[in-house]
Amino acid sequence: MANNTLFFFTLSNPSHGQELWKVTTEDVASIVADIRPGPEGSEPRMLTALGASLMFTADDGIHGRELWKTNGTAAGTVLVQDLVLGIESADIEQINGFRAVRGADLFFSSYGVGGLELRRSDGTVNGVVHLKDIGPTGSNPSEFVKMGDFTYFVADDGKTGRELWKTDNTEAGTQRVADIIPGATGSSPSNLLVVEATDGNLTLFFEAKDPTKGRELFKLENTANAVPICISDITIGAGNASIGNMTAVKGTLHFTAYNGAGNGDRIFKVNPERTAVVFTGGDMISANNLIASGSTLFFTQKGINSGPKLCKLENGVTSIIKVFDLIPGGEYPMPQKLTVVGSTLFFTAADAAKGRELWKLESTVNAIPKRISDIIVGPGSSGIDNLTDFNGVLHFTASSGESTGDRVFKTNAIRTSVAAVGGNMSNADNLMAAGLRLFFTQSPQAGAPQLCKLENNITTVLKTFDLRLDGQSSIPQSSRLLATKFSLPQRMLKMDANSGNRTAQPQSWSVIFGMV
């Protein structure tokens, strides 16, 4: 959560079509603005916070799909700029990847002057800046991340192929970082990730194609005139390492990759000097599902002549926490949906007696995994989903076998069992925590879909949406938590997005939902 604002989208309603909605602190749900009057709707997408405004794309039927903003009121919902004049659309891309990249500025790629190029908005009407003509007909920028004073991205200038670029918000400061593969081929960087080491140093890691080594791991330090350096040759020669699961563990990048040994992916990490990568954790078989909790890295492995394994990696040593028995004629019991809440690891796994249910692993010494639910008694699986940290307590959706479908459950105070919460509900879905409230949707078997909140274990229906005449669903869908504040003062808990600490602060907030 960031600055106490939650965003949803709704598929449609028969009066307004797909439009932007909000829920105030008084629990009043209303349409923000009818941007495209009538049943078609403007289909808001790419909802993104920028200071005190919500930025998004919409099509008003006159200007095509362009950049819009709102302060949460109809009067404050305006077209930012018609980048491609007339009914043609700008085809704005990647906005949701730029959230808070540079604080007060929004980066995106769109058509307009120079073709599909890099643009910046400070949120003011007609304030979009075309930073630079990178390519002769457009450079298709993507993969934006911020490190230090620069925003890094991938673009094609028409001469060197897709390579790593950076910008400091100026035309002169928008430059290609390096031509990793000389010539027009391009190294096609991907999976850009900035990792902060324990000493505070920032390093940008990414996967790219090396001229002789294939697709391997590169790094770029946050120093003046730094150049990208390939620091791995995991699959010796021109083969690709298939790098994935990039995860920071106490400031050190860990990831999975394939070295051609035949047993699938294993885990690697970057050395302390960030000059090379090394094996870690010993031999493995198809390592996957990496998730960090403090200095511990949890992951899964497939088994050979045995069931899958839940494992942990600490100080370079792998420990097998549990081997899950194969289920004859049943589903593969591999642990899934690994989620850390506080210092407890939760996940789903299957066994022959109880089906796929919720398990937990505490952080205590010699702790063993324990199944803590049997929601559908016996071997039936309860379809656990939407695992959500709600003020330090795991909440999720599951089916209890009733005809009304999924409902909301939570773990008890000592995390030894689960219980349904919030009373009767039908087909609960799309859980999203915001301060002291857990928002979700439900679809009654007979009746219209609803947006609801769970507060103090009590469910309140905030809005019932009209059924569409064409039979399609109009249920709201969860999007993301974004940093937008509006003019409705309310004291609530603010979640710090970096540390996860909750501090009581007076904030202004609203709940917005629209299509992404």
Which is more confident, 245 or 41?
245
d(CA 444, CA 58): 30
Q: Are 32 and 78 in contact (CB under 8 A)?
A: no
Q: What is the CA radius of gyration of the chain?
A: 25
Average pLDDT over residues 99-115: 72
Q: Work out the pLDDT band at 104, boundaries 50, 70, 90.
A: low
Q: Is 90 exceeded by the pLDDT of residue 48? A: no
Residues 6+ apart with CB under 8 A from 443: 405, 426, 427, 429, 449, 450, 473, 475
Chain position carrying tokens 């105070």? 413
Facing residues of 56 across strands? 68
pLDDT of residue 16: 76
Which is more confident, 80 or 484?
80
Q: Are 513 and 451 in contact (CB under 8 A)?
A: yes
Range name among 62-71, 144-153, 456-465, 506-515 with the lowest pLDDT average: 506-515
Q: Which domains does the chain have, with CATH numbers?
A: 189-323 (2.120.10.30)
Q: Are 343 and 351 in contact (CB under 8 A)?
A: no
- Give pLDDT tens digits for 353-405: 999 999 999 999 889 999 999 999 999 999 999 999 999 999 999 998 888 89
Q: Is 80 exceeded by the pLDDT of residue 493? A: no
Q: In what order do the strands lie in the sheet with 244-249?
A: 244-249, 252-257, 266-270, 277-279
Q: Is 70 exceeded by the pLDDT of residue 474? A: no
Q: Which two three-digit tokens encode residue 387?
A: 């695992």
pLDDT of residue 164: 98
Q: Work out the pLDDT band at 497, boundaries 50, 70, 90.
A: very low
Judged by DSSP in three states, 370 sits in strand
- Give pLDDT tens digits for 169-212: 889 999 999 999 999 999 999 999 999 999 999 999 999 999 99
- Give pLDDT tens digits for 419-453: 999 999 999 998 988 888 898 989 887 778 888 99
Count, in order, helices (H) and strands (E) of the chain: 0, 42
Q: Which two three-digit tokens encode residue 147?
A: 């490190």
d(CA 164, CA 154): 5
Comparing CA positions, the residue from 430, 434, 516, 437 lying closest to residue 483 is 434
Average pLDDT over residues 102-113: 76
d(CA 454, CA 431): 10
Comparing CA positions, the residue from 291, 270, 288 lying closest to residue 279 is 270
Q: Any idea how long the chain is?
A: 516
Mean pLDDT computed over every residue of the chain: 85
